[in-house]
Chains A and B, each alone.
Chain A
Amino acid sequence: MNRIEAAFQNKKAFIPFVTGGDPDTETTEKLVLGMEEAGADIIEIGVPFSDPIAEGVVIQDASKRALANWCTADKLFGMVRRLRRKTEIPLLFMTYYNPVHTYGKERFLCECQSSGIDGLIVPDLPFEEKDELSAPCREHGLALISMIAPTSGERIAMIASGAQGFLYCVSSLGVTGVRGEISTDLGAMIRKVRSVSNIPCAVGFGVSTPEQARQTASLADGVIVGSAIVRLVAQCGKGSVEPVKNFVAQMKAAMNNK
């Protein structure tokens, strides 16, 4: 069993996201370790891209701050190598296809593998274009995480049947960001997945409060939270480790409290 599969064994996985290099890679490194300590099961690290079309303002601004501080994929590979001396928590890179393509697909995936990354989330690589990365990812032992959205409808079966690691279920229309409520029928979405696959379903986009985490965890196998954490990092910068740990602990507690 690989590290991602293990994260879903007999428990609901809490999957926080931070933008790598915001405000600097040293803080990102501490955030990863802190979030693990607070109960995170898998951690998503954003490789900043100049023009992230699926992100709302919070994560757009974080990418901008990271790039302004000269964060690069190379620096993040270095950070992952340092982290791997201290932790075995599953780590995913979330980025857009251009940073992977232009760095050199093969070179990027080699670096992911050798530094200790477990998988990739590439939101602008839908099912129709996933051949760009799916076979090469498999060769490098990386899970290429597939996404389904409220608009996926009859596409769900096709996407879910070939998915690896877990299925990233986008809870709402639009881009990432904190939302007051989630109006999509997540139960129906997950039932469609279940009819073709046993792959774990993790729900993201808009989940920001312990109550939302509790409700979401009652339907899904995992909960992904990005903007709410990135907002704390924006507010507290280098001092964000403690507030983020507290937040992660609260979310995890709410998920366990059925």
Chain B
Amino acid sequence: MQKGRFGAYGGQYIPETLMRAAQELEAAYEFYKNDGAFRGELSALLKNYAGRPSLLYYAENMSKDLGRAKIYLKREDLNHTGSHKINNVLGQVLLAKKMGKTRIIAETGAGQHGVAAATAAALLGLQCEVFMGEEDLKRQSLNVFRMRLLGAEVHSVQSGTMTLKDAVSETMREWSRRMEDTLYVLGSVMGPHPYPSMVRDFQKVIGLEIKEQLQQAEGRLPDAVVACVGGGSNAIGAFHEFIGEPSVRLVGCEAAGLGLNTPQNAAAISKGSVGVFHGMKSYFCQDEYGQIAPVYSISAGLDYPGIGPEHAWLADTGRAAYVPISDEEAVQAFAYLARTEGIIPAIESAHALAYVRKLAPSMGKEQIIVAVLSGRGDKDVAAIARYRGEDVHE
């Protein structure tokens, strides 16, 4: 396959001004990914700072309740900062430092990646500026304060629909203004090459650990790995180790919002078409003229009109399946896990759990499903209360 391509997808569709920055990053990443010292430093940070390996937890109550397959949860919610995002930012911010950069910039939707980036920058002594859509800024005021507490400067993005996609566009614009001392720390397996491959490499620790931990617990491979997908970084991280194991079903859960028959969804594979945006060729929610659609999901982390190019390729080749999960299904799964296992999942991760509830009853008693609990749900409690008509103030 061509460099930076997953089948026809991926590529480097960015303005000429940014090409040097992208190529500089690519060269640095190609060097450091094989550099023993870099790898050693990164694994030490993942272990001693982020708290890896994360647990692979056997959800016995849930398994018994659903009556069939054994369900394991990969507990990325237990990482420092409460989600899988820390795996990627530690990698990228450490890389920024090796490259001699003194400042990082990042986009954020709900604030998970922004908080993680601000955290890594605080730890490693880099300046951090986060771009966040004005709409998200209002919805996630607690995370905004959290980022400021960590020393980051948070910019309100007022362009377009003032949400995640606009935050990505604005961070790219800022990078094109200032790249000499600055690295764009992108939060998902999307954007121009090398981001989709590099972010996947930083997240593939999830799948490597799943394989090893399940080997110890059950002495075998899982039958299915299920994860939510927005851009798709926790999903690729979990899937990657199993792509070459045909017996393992890979399922990505897209945000169907209010339903696929309404415009209020963010299901790029189920409802989108092939396009080129944010530096990559992939699937996007868009109209017949190629205008990017204003998407919607209850989950700010999945509220993005596209999907990473490797997922587009896995979908086309049939190696992974992508299923739509509605707001309502996700909210039910959110409450279900809280009651059954005493774990409050991120609303993003609840999309994966909702699919597990559908899948488990159709599987055999000895079969194993691993679902990625990509983040913890504290951030979502107020929004879920509002969804149910209860007025809760953060």
Question: Measuring CB to CB, which residues of chain A are less than 8 angstroms from any residue of chain B?
Answer: 49-51, 53-54, 56-57, 60, 64, 67, 72-73, 97-103, 123-129, 147-153, 155, 159, 170, 173-175
Would A101 and B177 count as touching, CB distance under 8 A?
A: no
Closest approach, in angstroms, between the C-beta of B159 and any C-beta of chain A? 6
From B172, B179, B277, B289, residue with most partner A Cβ within 10 Å: B289
Q: How far is the CA of A147 from the CA of B15 in the complex (A)?
A: 9
Of B13, B15, B278, B289, which contacts A102 at CB under 8 A?
B289
* Cβ B15 vs Cβ A174 within 8 A: no
Q: Is the beta-carbon distance between A101 and B289 smaller than 8 angstroms?
A: no
Give 5 A-B contacts (CB < 8 Å), ordered by A residue.
A53-B15, A54-B15, A124-B279, A126-B16, A127-B16
In the bound complex, CA of A40 to CA of B55 (Å): 67
The answer, yes or no, to whether B48 is at the interface (CB within 8 Å) is no
List of A residues within 8 angstroms of B21 by Cβ: 151
Q: Are A101 and B276 in contact (CB under 8 A)?
A: yes
Is A128's CB under 8 angstroms from B12's CB?
Answer: yes
Of residues 1 to 49 in B, which have CB atoms within 8 Å of A's CB atoms? 11-21
Given contacts A124-B15, A149-B15, A149-B17, 5 further A-B contacts (CB under 8 A): A53-B173, A102-B273, A126-B12, A126-B13, A149-B16
Known: A98-B277, A101-B275. A152 touches B288 (CB 8 A): no
User: A53 to B172, Cβ gap below 8 A?
Assistant: yes
Instruction: Determine the distance from Cα of A129 to Cα of B176 in the docked complex, in whole angstroms.
Output: 18
Taking the complex as formed, is B258 at the interface, i.e. its CB lies under 8 A from any CB of chain A? no
With a cutoff of 8 Å between Cβ atoms, the chain A residues found around residue B18 in the complex are 151
A126/B15 contact (C-beta < 8 A), A174-B176, A174-B177, A175-B177 known: yes
From residue B197, how far is it (CB to closest CB) to chain A in Å? 16
Q: Which residue of B lies closest to A47 (CB)?
A: B289
- Give which listed residue, A99, A151, A175, contacts B19 with CB less than 8 A: A151
Contact A102 B279 (CB under 8 A): no
Report which of B17, B166, B276 forms a contact with A150, defined as CB distance below 8 A: B17
Q: Is the CB of A148 within 8 A of B278?
A: no
Top 4 A-B pairs ranked by shortest CB distance? A102-B290, A174-B177, A99-B290, A149-B17
Is B165's beta carbon under 8 Å from chain A?
yes
- Identity of the chain B residue whose Cβ is nearest the Cβ of A173 in the assembled complex: B177
Chain B 250-285 interface mask (CB, 8 Å, partner A; 1/0): 000000000000000000000001111111000010
Contact between A98 and B276 (Cβ–Cβ < 8 Å)? yes
Q: Determine whether the beta carbon of A170 is less than 8 Å from that of B16.
A: yes
B292 at interface by CB-CB < 8 Å = yes
Q: Smallest CB-CB separation from B158: which chain A residue?
A: A57
CB–CB B15/A152 < 8 A? no
Distance to closest chain B CB from A257 (angstroms): 31
Expressed in whole angstroms, the minimum distance between the Cβ of B160 and any Cβ of chain A is: 6
- Residue on A nearest B284 in the bound complex, by CB: A98
Are the CB atoms of B14 and A51 closer together than 8 Å? no
* B16 neighbours in A (Cβ, 8 Å): 123, 126-127, 147-149, 151-152, 155, 159, 170
Residues of chain A contacted by B176 (CB below 8 angstroms): 54, 173-175
CB distance from B328 to the nearest CB of A (A): 29
Task: Tell me whether B12 and A99 are in contact (CB under 8 A).
Answer: no
Who on chain A is nearest to B17 by CB?
Answer: A149
User: Quick one: CB contact mask for B165-185 with A, threshold 8 Å, 1 for yes?
Assistant: 110010011001111000000
Q: Are B289 and A129 in contact (CB under 8 A)?
A: no
Query: Is B286 an interface residue when CB atoms closer than 8 A count as contact?
Result: yes
Name the distance in Å between B14's Cβ and chain A's nearest Cβ. Answer: 6
A33, chain B: closest CB distance, angstroms: 26
Cα distance A100–B13 in the bound complex, in angstroms: 13
CA distance A72 to B288 in the complex (A): 10
Instruction: Give the complex CA separation of A101 and B280 in angstroms.
Output: 13
**Cβ contacts under 8 Å, B276 to chain A:** 97-98, 101, 124
Judging by beta carbons under 8 Å apart, are A151 and B20 in contact?
yes
Which residues of B lie under 8 Å from residue A125 when comparing CB positions?
13
Is B216's CB within 8 Å of the partner chain A?
no
Known A102-B273, A102-B275; contact A50-B173, beta-carbon cutoff 8 A: no
Counting CB contacts under 8 A, is B291 at the interface? yes
Name the distance in Å between B105's Cβ and chain A's nearest Cβ.
13
- Chain A positions within 8 Å of B13 at CB level: 97, 124-126, 129
Instruction: Let me know if A174 and B173 touch, CB within 8 A.
Output: yes
Chain B residues within 8 Å of A148, by CB = 16
Cα distance, A126 to B284, chains bound together (Å): 21
Chain A positions within 8 Å of B292 at CB level: 50-51, 98
Nearest CB to that of A72 among chain B residues?
A: B289
Give B159's nearest chain A residue, CB to CB: A60
Q: Which chain A positions have C-beta within 8 A of B284?
A: 98
Enumerate chain B residues within 8 angstroms of A153, measured Cβ to Cβ: 20
Q: Are A151 and B279 in contact (CB under 8 A)?
A: no
Considering only CB atoms, which chain A residue lies closest to B178 in the complex? A173
User: Is B291 a contact of A173 with CB atoms below 8 Å?
Assistant: no
Which residues from A are CB-within-8-Å of B14? Answer: 53, 124, 126
Partner of A103, one of B159, B166, B290: B290
Q: Please determine whether A99 and B17 come into contact, CB atoms closer than 8 angstroms.
A: no
**B12 contact set on A, CB distance < 8 A:** 126, 128-129
Instruction: List, in ascending order, chain B residues with CB within 8 A of A72's CB.
Output: 289
Give the residues in chain B near A53, CB-CB below 8 Å: 14-15, 169, 172-173, 278
B12 closest partner in A (C-beta):
A128
Q: Which residues of B contact A57 (CB under 8 A)?
A: 159
- A159 / chain B contacts, CB cutoff of 8 Å: 16
Within 8 A of A (CB), among B214-237: none
Give bound CA distance, A149 to B154, whole Å: 29
Which of B160, B172, B275 sits near A98, CB closer than 8 Å?
Answer: B275
- Least CB distance from B347 to A in Å reads 25
